[in-house]
Amino acid sequence: MGGPGGWWRRKSTPAKVETYTRWSFHFIALSEPTVIGVTAFGHLEARAALLVMVPVAAHVALAMVTASRALDWTVGRRAQPLRLLWALGAATALVATAAVVLGRHGPGGPREDTGTVLGSVFGATLCYGVGLTALGLKDRRRVVLLVTGFGAGAGLVARAAGMPALAALGTSAFVTAASGFFAATSAFSIWLLNTVYVLDEARETRARLAVAEERLRFGRDLHDVMGRNLAVIALKSELAVQLARRERPEAVEQMIEVQRIAQESQREVREVVRGYRRADLEAELHGARGVLRAAGIDCEVSGETDGLPAEVQSALGWVVREATTNVLRHGDAKKCTVTVLRPEGRVVLTVRNDGATAPHGSSRTGGTGLAGLRERLSAVGGTLDAGEAGDGEFRLVAEVPLTARPALEVAS
């Protein structure tokens, strides 16, 4: 998949949400120097504005690194970046405090243009710093303490720098509200990202349960076949032993019956292993549609299956099972279509999904699952073709000639 957006299409839904969240916070952090820079270059000389932007740029760089590490911690890739969180909190407080002090008591005394620029540094640094620090906190109470603590601290610093009490109170309220908004945005984004990962894990669990259900189905069929027959073999063998000890000729007849039952059991086990007792194609299509829709994948099934030979239905039923499992377990499909066409003298089963690559990186040669399907189809003269069809679509096509005779089983 070589298009410009191929890297995005190859990502799973949680990975896409994580990438979106990560870059959203990077852009939020980059908006801090934008807001301050517009004010600084609009009110100060270029040299003075550049001096103001130096600590702001350092604060932004630290905030972006902290946000990235905090998101890694959220998804379980790193430990909680406590040192970075403390460093960002300290840098935020230091830059904001310096801005207030310089604005009130800097060289040349308080000036309107300087006060406007340093005021924007003070407010933006606090709001962005607190909001991005909240990414590294899961406890809501700690987030609330962080916001209220910086809000109260902003008011105290402003008052200590000589700002009137009412103005200091207003500053405290503004910082609390603005930083609280950014912190709430961070908390909601983290909650959303965690929810997406949990839902994806639940989807994987449903897929594993579907596979486990098929295994249980196989186990029940095998138990039904072997349980009764083994019990009969044990009873007849015991009877043959008793008759042989009494030198009765009926012992030979009992052992012949044991041999017949054993051969019959062997044949039935082969039937179970080969096709789960002749899988019905219509039932498999109905089951695939139900399982995929339950997993949140839109599934459409079309075509007629009436009148197909039992061998063909069994082979194609296996194709539907394997294809359904691959759609559930690999990739990130949103839609799947299954069509059964019957051109003259053959039947073609096509399964398409829009969000999956080849299972386990397989190509048209396929992995072990596809190799098994090819063996089953070859027994009825059929072929299998599987691979990426472009535009993020994976296509599996099974074709069976209706005039072909199934391969004869080798008696064991």
The pLDDT of residue 411 is 36
Q: How many residues does the chain have?
A: 412
As a whole number, the mean pLDDT across the chain is: 82
Helix residue ranges per DSSP H, 276-390: 281-294, 310-329, 368-378
125 exposure class (CB count in 10 Å sphere: 0-12, 13-18, 19+): buried
383 contact partners, CB below 8 Å, separation of at least 6 = 374, 377, 398, 399
The pLDDT of residue 407 is 44
The pLDDT of residue 357 is 54
Q: DSSP secondary structure string, 41-106?
A: HHHS-HHHHHHHHHHHHHHHHHHHHHHHHHHHHHTTSS---HHHHHHHHHHHHHHHHHHHHHHHHS
The Cβ-side half-sphere exposure at 108, using a 13 Å CA radius, reads 6
Q: Which two tokens stand for residue 143?
A: 């987030």
Q: What are the tens digits of pLDDT across the range 330-386? A: 667 888 999 999 988 899 999 998 875 554 444 444 455 788 788 888 888 999 998
Q: What are the tens digits of pLDDT across the range 223-281? A: 776 777 787 788 888 888 988 888 888 888 888 888 888 888 888 787 776 655 455 78
The pLDDT of residue 200 is 82
Top mean pLDDT of 80-89, 207-216, 309-318 is at 80-89
The pLDDT of residue 341 is 92
Q: Which two tokens stand for residue 26?
A: 């990077």
Q: What are the tens digits of pLDDT across the range 71-96? A: 999 888 889 999 999 999 999 999 98
Percent above pLDDT 90 for the chain: 20
Give the dihedral sign, CA 284/289/292/295.
negative
Higher pLDDT, 332 or 313: 313
The pLDDT of residue 363 is 42
Q: Which two tokens stand for residue 347?
A: 């039947």
Give the dihedral sign, CA 87/90/92/94.
negative
The pLDDT of residue 364 is 44
Start-to-end C-alpha separation, the chain = 47
Contact status, residue 142 vs residue 117, Cβ threshold 8 Å: no
The pLDDT of residue 360 is 42
Q: What are the tens digits of pLDDT across the range 144-179? A: 999 999 999 988 988 887 888 898 899 899 999 999
Four-CA torsion 126, 131, 136, 142, nearest 10 degrees: 80
AA identity, residue 18: E
Three-state secondary-structure class, residue 337? strand
What is the bridge-based pairing of β-strands 335-341 and 298-303?
A: parallel
* CA–CA dist 348, 342 (Å, integer): 6
**Looking at the predicted structure, is the pLDDT value of residue 329 above 60?**
yes
**Looking at the predicted structure, is the pLDDT value of residue 6 above 80?**
no
The pLDDT of residue 278 is 54
Helix residue ranges per DSSP H, 246-309: 250-275, 281-294
The distance from CA 130 to its chain's CA centroid, rounded to whole angstroms, is 30
pLDDT band at 408; cut points 50, 70, 90: very low
Helix residue ranges per DSSP H, 134-164: 140-160
The pLDDT of residue 409 is 41
**Looking at the predicted structure, is the pLDDT value of residue 123 above 50?**
yes
DSSP symbol at 330: S
